[in-house]
Amino acid sequence: MNAEDRALANRKLVKKLLWVIAGAILFTIALVPLYNVMCQVTGFNGKTGNSAEQAAKSMKVDNTRWVTVEFTSNVMPGLAWTFYPKQTSIRVHPGQIELATYVAKNIANQEVIGQAIPSVSPGQASLYFKKIECFCFQRQTLKPGESKEMPLTFFVSPDLPKQIETITLSYAFYSAVK
């Protein structure tokens, strides 16, 4: 192989590698939106689609049983907030729309943006725990020293398997950038 052929082969290889790098960057950029769509469609990781409100309106409440919904919270390192549920648990009838409230306070001396990520356990219950309105649907901005009550409107589907009597909803708040 002469020098000209080698230079041509090297240019082709560089072009192929640049395409691979560009594809990897595009895949990385698309990964978060794809993950969010997958979570909303499947209910994975406690995320639900916007159809929850329509489903709740046509759903019958199962008054024959109770489900306890427990609330927990975490603030991840790097976020100067306090964050906690106003109530530790609620007993609900499946199909009954309920309201829970969390409180966040910025303890930093600058404006801070956070994003809450929900988790439902047991994992099987995430398919039946439906959020109608949630602070976790968007980033939250708090000014220095500001406190904010953040509502969560939800219901537990009457289709929840009978052996599941307790559901734990946990939120982890992470630092987010604009």
Reported as a single tens digit per residue, the pLDDT across 75-101 is 999 899 999 999 999 999 999 999 999
89 CB-near residues (< 8 Å, 6+ apart): 68, 69, 70, 71
Cβ–Cβ under 8 Å, residues 84 and 107: no
Please state, rounded to an integer, the average pLDDT across all residues of the chain: 87
pLDDT per residue as tens digits for the range 149-164: 999 999 999 999 999 9
- Residue 23 belongs to what domain range? 1-42
Average pLDDT over residues 29-34: 75
Neighbours of 77 (CB within 10 A): 6
Q: Are residues 90 and 149 in the same domain?
A: yes
Work out the end-to-end distance of the chain between its first and last CA atoms, rounded to an integer number of angstroms: 53
Q: Are residues 148 and 166 in the same domain?
A: yes
Q: Which structure tokens are listed for 47?
A: 């995320």
Q: Model's pTM, two decimal places?
A: 0.68
Phi, psi dihedral angles at 30 (to 5 degrees): -80, -15
C-alpha atoms less than 13 angstroms from C-alpha of 58 in its C-beta half-sphere: 4
Average pLDDT over residues 8-24: 88
Considering the chain, what percentage of its residues have pLDDT values greater than 70? Answer: 88
Q: Are residues 126 and 170 in the same domain?
A: yes
Q: Are residues 62 and 31 in the same domain?
A: no
pLDDT per residue as tens digits for the range 52-68: 555 555 678 999 999 99
127: CATH: 2.60.370.10
Q: How many domains does the chain have?
A: 2
Pairing of strands 112-121, 166-175: antiparallel
